[in-house]
Chain A
Amino acid sequence: MDRYRDFSLGEFVWDKSFRNWVLNPTREDDETWQNWLAANPDKREMVERARQLVLSIRPANASLSNPEKRKAVERIVERLESRSSDRSENSYSPWYTGRVVRFAAMLVLLVGFGWILWLRHQQPKVIGYDQLVAAANTEMRETVNTNAQPLAIDLEDGSRITLDPGSKVSYLAHFSIKPGGDGQGTTRREVYLSGKAFFDIAKDPARPFFVYANGLVTKVLGTSFTVRSFANEQEVSVAVKTGKVAVYSREDPEATEKQSSRELTGMVIEPNQQVVFVRKTVKITKSLVPEPEVIADAGPAPHFEFDEAPVSTVFSALQSAYGIDIIYDKNVMDECPITATLTEMSLYEKLDLICKAVDASYKSIDGRIVVEGKGCRNN
């Protein structure tokens, strides 16, 4: 330490041991320097000045917070651990050179890539009429409507198909006989459709009726409905006139289960509702048909004449006539009396009028009508 006796201020500032004491003091260092200062009190002032200079002049460092550093360190170790797990495997088999392992890994990767590409290639494949008919593997009778008028086809079970121009259907000549052996095959009625057709299906709960239209399967027990499924269109739609039908996608993982079930499972649509199936995305959405009609089995022609009737009476009349759920807040809306003649109007015109009268609005959501209003207490 004797050399420090003659140190100038600048020499102290640039002395490594001195700097170490100032910048990273340890107990030993501190002891050494305190002893030296006690022995050289005349140097105390210079040492303090040098200390301040050392502390003050620093490189401008980008700030690195502790959490940020911690995260970075952890990231490295994580990466390492994911790597070393591969490494430890081949270290047990030292006769395998790294090259062999690498080659194998590459092969696995290539096969994997190939598989992914294949999957990607498969996925957007949209199922069409021709493939479906070919896959059915049984002798089919095909009817094509080349006329300008709709064509009626009577099936042997009493059902009737009204085929639009430019559409075609394939179906078994005899529903009752189907070579299956296990008896299961005889319980089905199946039709393949390309284009648009209206189906009026004879009721037979023991034998569900299936319409295959591109990717969409429609299952019914006995109803009437329209299926629209043209090969060049991206959407398939099913609209129900009477009864209930169930629809599901062929891609549905539970498709076979839904097919064999005696009940209508899947998305169930009711009169005046329709579903639209987007072929590419395999997505089914339910909505109301564009022009809901009064359902046939609702009894004698309903009359829509109201005189100071509460809104709930009006809505329930509409509900039973069209078979569409109308959702509204009874407590709020029932204060509003309605006097109106709503015959000769479409459902939407009726709703427009009612909502205008009671200062409400409606939306069609998921095949139902939702009415929102503030009530009429103040009117």
Chain B
Amino acid sequence: MKALTRSEPRLTLHLEEEQQLWREMLAGDVTAYEHLIDRTYDLLFHYGTKFNGDRELIKDCIQDVFLGVWEKRDALNPEIPPKPYLLASLRRRLHRLASRLRMDCMDYYNESDIVFDLEFTAEYQLIESENDRLLAARMTEMLNELPKRQKEAVFLRFYNDMEREEIALVMDIQPQSVSNLLQEAFKFIKSHWKAIVSLAWALSF
């Protein structure tokens, strides 16, 4: 584990940079604000499109999130991690929007419009062996069959490098619920695919 601890500072540095931008932004620094938007925009956009396919709507929501952050920057905690906070704000906003739309036109929008909808795909040309291509196909299939909330937890954990507490913040649930979601997700995959064994490490937070 010695080598691993050497790589930890980098990760902390990376996160520390974001935290620093967040602090400067809350203190009224517009340059830091712009940097922070630039750094987190892709993540927010991709996350947003998992809830709603309307690109312009997502962009508008992200804009509202950031303008909202700036407006109440005096009241915000400079020590909370910015990424999960921003994702959570976006998520709340999209949900509010969807429930409003649902009220306006009863039949047109239904529950499925506001849930996380993510499709995993496999780029087979990146894989050399035929055997592993089958493996990838199988794995993708399993991931896509995951219940939506588990899928969202997996997405945030493994594709956006988030900790349990951060995922809890974004999804507005208890950290224990996040662990449960992830455990269930891998139980599901394992039960279908015996070749993937012992995923304990991935789940040990």
Contacts and interface: CB of A to CB of B under 8 A. Distances in A.
A81 B28 CA distance: 12
Nearest to B66: A76
SS of B interface (majority): helix
Interface in B40-93: 41-42, 45-46, 49-50, 53, 55, 59, 62-63, 66-67, 70-71
Given A59-B119, A64-B46, A11 B10 contact: no
Given A62-B45, A72-B41, A80-B67, A32 B121 contact: no
Nearest to B124: A56
Nearest to B182: A14
Interface string A66-86: 000100110111011101100
Contact of B46 (A7, A62, A76): A62
A28 interface: yes
Contacts of A52: 126-128, 132
Given A1-B1, A11-B201, A72-B59, A16 B129 contact: no
Interface string A1-40: 1110001111101111101100010101100100110000
Nearest to B31: A77
A14 B158 contact: yes
Interface in A61-114: 61-62, 64, 69, 72-73, 75-77, 79-81, 83-84
A53 B136 contact: yes
A85 to B, nearest CB: 12
Interface residues of B, number: 58
Nearest to B53: A62
B139 A53 contact: yes
B122 interface: yes
Contact of A26 (B3, B10, B55): B10
Given A8-B197, A75-B63, A80-B30, A64 B136 contact: no
Nearest to A32: B3
B140 interface: yes
B46 A59 contact: yes
Contacts of A15: 201-202
A58 B37 contact: no
B109 interface: no
A55 interface: yes
A57 B139 contact: yes
SS of A interface (majority): helix
Contacts of B129: 49
B198 A76 contact: no
Contacts of B118: 59-60
B33 A80 contact: yes
B140 A57 contact: yes
B95 to A, nearest CB: 19
A10 B136 contact: no
Contacts of A35: 3
A7 B200 CA distance: 11
A1 B3 contact: yes
A354 B125 CA distance: 78
Query: How many residues of A sit at the interface, in one of the four size bands?
Result: 35 or more
A1 B41 CA distance: 33
A49 B136 CA distance: 10
A56 B135 CA distance: 11
B21 interface: no
A28 B10 contact: yes
B171 interface: no
B143 interface: yes
Interface string B133-145: 0011001100100
A64 B45 contact: yes
A49 B126 CA distance: 10
A2 B45 CA distance: 38
Interface string B1-20: 11110110011000000000
Nearest to B64: A76
A19 B158 contact: yes
A80 B70 contact: yes
A73 B34 contact: yes
B8 to A, nearest CB: 9
A83 B143 CA distance: 44
B105 interface: no
Contacts of B10: 26, 28-29
B199 A28 contact: no
B195 interface: yes
A53 B135 contact: yes
Contact of A58 (B33, B121, B198, B201): B121
Given A61-B49, A72-B62, A28 B30 contact: no
A52 B136 CA distance: 9
A28 B202 contact: no
Contacts of B62: 72, 76
B40 to A, nearest CB: 10
A77 B46 contact: no
Contact of A32 (B6, B33, B71): B6
Contacts of B199: 10-11, 14
Contacts of A36: 3
8 contacts: A7-B201, A14-B186, A14-B199, A36-B3, A58-B122, A59-B118, A64-B41, A80-B66
* Smallest CB-CB A-B distances: 9 pairs: A14-B202, A10-B196, A62-B49, A32-B3, A56-B126, A60-B119, A1-B3, A52-B127, A61-B46
